[in-house]
């Protein structure tokens, strides 16, 4: 609930894998929803700068969500980061597959932001 409006999170597909995968799907989905909301709004051109300005705050909220989860159960942060990367790559591929070139910049921007955060383990 916010400003008299309500929203629901669609958990379809959650709880079908290891916890790290479910947590990563939630985090990646939030980022993807942000960029789609930005794309629907009138930003006179690319929605990416608008969304990129908000991604750090969304990262903070994602981190808070993960910290709260860890209070009740353990989870591998490395696996969360790996799964989240895979989900974000999948969003980019889906954009190409559905021939939606107007969304590729936005999906790539989220993926690039995620990779720049440096949460992926070094191999």
Q: Is residue 107 part of a domain?
A: yes
CB-based contacts of 3-11 (< 8 A; 24+ apart in sequence): none
Q: Above 90 in pLDDT, residue 15? A: no
Give me the percent of the chain exceeding a pLDDT of 90.
24
Q: Is residue 6 part of a domain?
A: no
Q: Helices 19-40 and 101-116 meet at what angle, rounded to 10?
A: 130
According to DSSP, residue 9 is labeled -
Q: Is residue 9 part of a domain?
A: no
| Arithmetic mean of pLDDT, 25-38 | 83
* Other Cβ atoms within 10 Å of 73 Cβ, number: 7
What are phi and psi for residue 2, nearest 5 degrees? Answer: -160, 125
Q: Is residue 32 part of a domain?
A: yes
Q: Is residue 70 part of a domain?
A: yes
Identify the three-state secondary structure at position 4. coil
Span 53-106, pLDDT tens digits: 888 888 998 999 999 999 988 999 999 999 999 999 998 898 888 777 767 888
Number of domains in the chain: 1
End-to-end CA distance of the chain: 42
Q: What's the predicted TM-score (pTM) here?
A: 0.76
pLDDT of residue 58: 87
Q: Is residue 2 part of a domain?
A: no
- Look up the domain containing 107 and give its range: 19-116
């Amino acid at each position: 609930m916010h400003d008299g409006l309500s929203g629901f999170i669609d958990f379809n597909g959650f709880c079908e894998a290891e916890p790290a995968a479910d947590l990563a799907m939630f985090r990646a989905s939030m980022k993807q929803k942000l960029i789609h909301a930005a794309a629907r709004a009138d930003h006179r051109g690319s929605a990416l700068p608008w969304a990129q300005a908000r991604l750090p705050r969304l990262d903070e909220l994602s981190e808070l969500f993960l910290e709260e989860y860890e209070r009740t159960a353990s989870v591998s942060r490395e696996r969360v980061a790996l799964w989240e990367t895979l989900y974000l790559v999948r969003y980019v591929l889906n954009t190409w597959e559905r021939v939606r070139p107007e969304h590729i910049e936005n999906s790539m921007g989220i993926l690039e932001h995620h990779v720049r955060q440096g949460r992926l383990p070094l191999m």
